[in-house]
Homo-oligomer: A and B are copies of this chain.
Amino acid sequence: MKQEKISDAVVRRLPVYLRYLNELSLSGVQTVSSQDLGEKLNLNPAQIRKDLASFGEFGRKGVGYNAAYLIEKIRQILKLDKTLGVALVGTGNLGRALCNYNMYTKDNMKIVAVFDADASKTGTQINHLTVQPMHELKETVDRLGVTIGIITVPAWEAQNVADRFAAAGIKGILNFAPAVLKVPPGVRIHYADFTAELLSLAYYMDDDNRLSEGEVNV
């Protein structure tokens, strides 16, 4: 047992490795090199080797990584071997899309409760989940042991939902609303920041420096 630090950046890259390893595994591939991983994921192979080496030596020079073993190891590190309950607030199109995805189930993250401040939504069904009113949040989080909350409300309501989550004892928040939120110490917030991905694409779209090495006149 060796004590290692895992940086936030590595923790965020692990699910990306995991997804691709799962794809490889499903298509029957048994070993993969850091070179393959790097090419497919647009990452530096040296970075990948460094990331994975921090969990022990399970790659072999010239042979690569055993995909199944690496999947198992990453799932352990991310603690995906235990199921985590997720609550979602905001049942607009995005919230409904997330409830209908089944990826959570596969990865042992499961949306187990859904809430909406709009009373007309109360009692409606989304993929076998019944929409509950906000005043039931805390009791439900306690009863079902929910640890993670997803925010899919408009930007101006997001801080209020984050406050309600924190008060209910939720420890991790994934925020889809385009707003920077305050959370108390002990609560971790991640941003599902697809606007940032979209806007940063614009940078590469100019005919002069599109897809170049990033040279730009300033």
Contacts and interface: CB of A to CB of B under 8 A. Distances in A.
B201 A174 contact: yes
A172 B204 CA distance: 8
A35 B202 CA distance: 28
A14 B15 CA distance: 24
A29 interface: no
Contacts of A23: 179-180
Nearest to A37: B180
Nearest to A20: B180
A48 B185 CA distance: 23
A120 interface: no
Interface string A51-63: 0001110000000
A107 interface: yes
A136 interface: no
B190 A84 contact: no
Nearest to A147: B205
Closest 6 pairs (CB-CB, A-B): A93-B97, A192-B194, A15-B199, A94-B97, A15-B196, A172-B201
30 contacts: A2-B218, A3-B216, A4-B218, A5-B216, A12-B200, A14-B199, A15-B193, A15-B195, A15-B199, A19-B195, A23-B179, A23-B180, A55-B218, A86-B198, A93-B94, A93-B100, A97-B97, A103-B195, A109-B198, A109-B202, A147-B205, A148-B198, A148-B201, A171-B210, A174-B197, A185-B211, A188-B201, A192-B194, A192-B198, A194-B194
Interface of A: 1-8, 11-16, 18-20, 23, 40-41, 54-56, 77-80, 84, 86, 92-94, 96-97, 100, 103-104, 107, 109, 147-148, 150, 171-174, 176, 178-180, 185-186, 188, 190-206, 210-211, 213-218
